[in-house]
Chains A and B, each alone.
Chain A
Amino acid sequence: MSRVTGWILVGLLLVTGLAGCASARSAGPGHGAAPTSGVVDLATRSGDWPRTEALLQNAVNRLDERCLRAAGFAVPAAPAVRLPDPGDEEAAIGLAQRRTIGYGIATPAPALAPPASEAYANTLSALDRNRYGTAQFGSAAPRTSVTLIRPATVEVASGGCVGAARRVLAGDLRTWARLTYIPDQLDTRLTAQAMTDPRYLRALAGWRSCLRGRGFSYTSAEAAQAALRKAYPNSGGTAAFKRHEIAVAVADGTCARTTHLPTVLLTVRRSLVTGLPSDELALLRSLNTERRAALARATTDPTMKG
């Protein structure tokens, strides 16, 4: 080996080694500045996120409807999107619904008619329905694959009015897809993590104790529902089963309110954002910036308002 070749090899090894170190650092837990409230909201779909996300989804719907109408289709407006706020403990528990249908296991639930906006296409002739499909999704309904948090990908509609609306709102399709789906990914992971956190487990122990005081013994609300679901097919869906389901669901909800289980879960979820790997925190910061730009467009552009 010549000296030149040797130095090149040494250089390559150094570069590779440094790249490896950088990669290892980026995969480690987050350090440095604490995540902003916007980043925490984004990763947990809480705080201001439900309100602003509804605003973004409504903006896409309005853009899409304008585009379809311009193509000659008198589409009804899609209902205004409202997203649940996990910080609203009363709503999260939904005691009123529990008193009526329990967990909704034994209550007959026939498939309801789709909303008017979805039913519209069915009112068209076969020819117009094809035209509608082309206007809405583009010729041959093209899709684009977008990488989310690895290894997950989503294939998103990229043509027609849908693709155009997404691009106008977010700047490009990839950004729209990442803004739409990555919070769901992270929130789901953080929720799973929070449910094994000692702070949540302490609250859960309180919930169990409360439930026992009401005559029921389940390890968690999920376990209670799973047991009822298993029993339901053999129960014949009797009135007695329904009464039992409602009693368990109400006791579960009452104990969740007493121990503030949903609030504890949310608090733990939000606290875990700081410990996300630094590359994911960097991604969240970047997404939050792109999201603010999209929100600015949604609130100032008259074509995105209802």
Chain B
Amino acid sequence: MRTTLWSRTAAFAAAAVLSLVAALGLSTSATAAPAAAHTSSHAAVTTQAAAATCPSTYTCFWVNDYYGGTMGKVAGNNSNYMNLSNSSGCTKYPGTWNDCISSITNQGTQCTVYFWTDAGYSDRYHSVAIGDWIGNFYDWWGDSAFNDAISSNHWCNPT
């Protein structure tokens, strides 16, 4: 699910203001994550908030981009997100996490997690290495077909 045009516009506007401040040589406050220096303020702030809610050893995902809306989490392999309960208002397969994920992080402790677009670890896969954050699937792949498309996950190896 994508955020509204307004929130994205506001994020870009905020980023533009920050860029202008940087260009003018003015200082901004530092954050724990150096990411804030590069990415939009919207993404950086919400990543900070999301980091506090996604526990270590889990991979967490959200209904909306930039870690917004309901959060889900898994610690093991899941071959079918139709069986993964989700109380939020996902429209494709209500009540499940299937084809519902728009942003993701891997807060596992050692391994990459591989996310598949079909159940049973099949069709196309995307990998997320440990400690990494992907805030916007739509921007990543530039195609709405690949947003809200995750259906299974596997740790350490694709299958």
Residues of A near any B CB (own CB < 8 A):
57, 60-61, 64-65, 75, 78-79, 81-84, 94, 97, 101, 103-105, 107-115, 117-118, 120-122, 129, 132-133, 136-137, 140-148, 151-158, 162, 180, 184-185, 187-189, 191-192, 222, 225, 229-230, 232-233
Residues of A contacting B45 in the complex (Cβ-Cβ under 8 angstroms): none
Q: Looking at the assembled complex, report how far the CB atom of B134 sits from the nearest CB atom of chain A, in whole angstroms.
A: 6
Known: A118-B108, A129-B56, A153-B135. A158 touches B34 (CB 8 A): yes
In the complex, residue of chain B having the shortest beta-carbon distance to the beta carbon of A153 = B39
Interface membership of B33, Cβ < 8 A: yes
Question: Could you give, for residues 95-136 of chain B, a 1 whenever the CB lies within 8 Å of some chain A CB and a 0 otherwise?
Answer: 100100000000011111000001110111111011111111
- Is A184's CB under 8 angstroms from B159's CB? no
> What's the interface size class on B, roughly?
35 or more
Expressed in whole angstroms, the Cα–Cα distance for A103 and B82 within the complex equals 12
- Is B75's CB under 8 angstroms from A103's CB? no
- Is A184's CB under 8 angstroms from B156's CB? no
With A107-B79, A142-B33, A155-B133 known, 12 other A-B pairs at CB within 8 A are A104-B119, A111-B84, A117-B109, A118-B108, A118-B155, A140-B32, A143-B131, A151-B139, A156-B129, A184-B127, A185-B141, A229-B119
The SS class assigned to the B binding surface is loop
Q: Looking at the assembled complex, report how far the CB atom of A162 sits from the nearest CB atom of chain B, in whole angstroms.
A: 5
Residues of B contacting A60 in the complex (Cβ-Cβ under 8 angstroms): 129
Residues of A contacting B118 in the complex (Cβ-Cβ under 8 angstroms): 103-104, 225
- Is A105's CB under 8 angstroms from B155's CB? no
